[in-house]
Amino acid sequence: MKITRLLLGAVAAMALVMTAGAGDAIAKKKKSRCKDGQPTVIASYKVSKGENIDFQISKSLTGKAGDAKKGLKWMVHRRLGNCIACHKVSQVQALAKPDDIKSLRSYGFHGKIGPPLDGLTERYTEGEVRLIVVDAKKAFPDANTIMPSFHHKKGLNRVIKDCKDHVMMSAEQIEDIVAYLMTIK
């Protein structure tokens, strides 16, 4: 009887230790939902008077021009830019091949919530486009826009706890997107 109690006590103790260890393992495995390496640093920039809208960011956030090829990559990235979820861009849609599911997923399905981006360079200067991507609410204060602020973190609502104090995109990614947007005719 003493041996049985001793064995049961040992098994219970082992179970307790294993359960506590399992909880630690689960906690270690849990990944941040902010999974694309979103930065916490906001680039320093100066807002000035715009030509077509009230404001613009006339100078590059990084001090250099972005890479338009990378900009396309960020625009269609489903968790970062995802511009085509809301905006139609004929130039991007033309990259979709009807018989290639991967290309259709990347380039083929465009939203109709936001305005089409075709002719963007005829409507806005580069500095205005930069401000729209950085902080659309500053660019269009009276429009009640649902476009997210991609490089701004003050005054945001319903941010995932893991992503608080992060911006959606780095200054370099913003400049890449601006470079691509400026190629759209």
Cβ atoms of residues 53 and 130 within 8 Å: no
For 42, what's the count of Cα atoms within 13 Å in the CB-facing half-sphere? 15
Backbone angles phi, psi at 29, to 5 degrees: -75, -25
Whole-number Å distance between alpha carbons of 124 and 157 = 28
**147 and 87 part of one domain:** yes
CATH number at residue 74: 1.10.760.10
Instruction: Supply the pLDDT for residue 41.
Output: 78
**115 and 147 part of one domain:** yes
**138 and 95 part of one domain:** yes
Tell me the pLDDT tens digit for each residue of 94-105: 888 888 878 877
Which residues, 6 or more positions from 178, have their beta carbon under 8 angstroms from its beta carbon?
A: 66, 71, 126, 129, 130, 133
Q: Which domain holds residue 125?
A: 34-181
Please report, as a single letter, which amino acid is at residue 172: E
Which residues of the chain fall below pLDDT 50? Answer: 6-8, 10-27, 29
**119 and 88 part of one domain:** yes
Instruction: Supply the pLDDT for residue 34.
Output: 65
**72 and 160 part of one domain:** yes
**14 and 48 part of one domain:** no
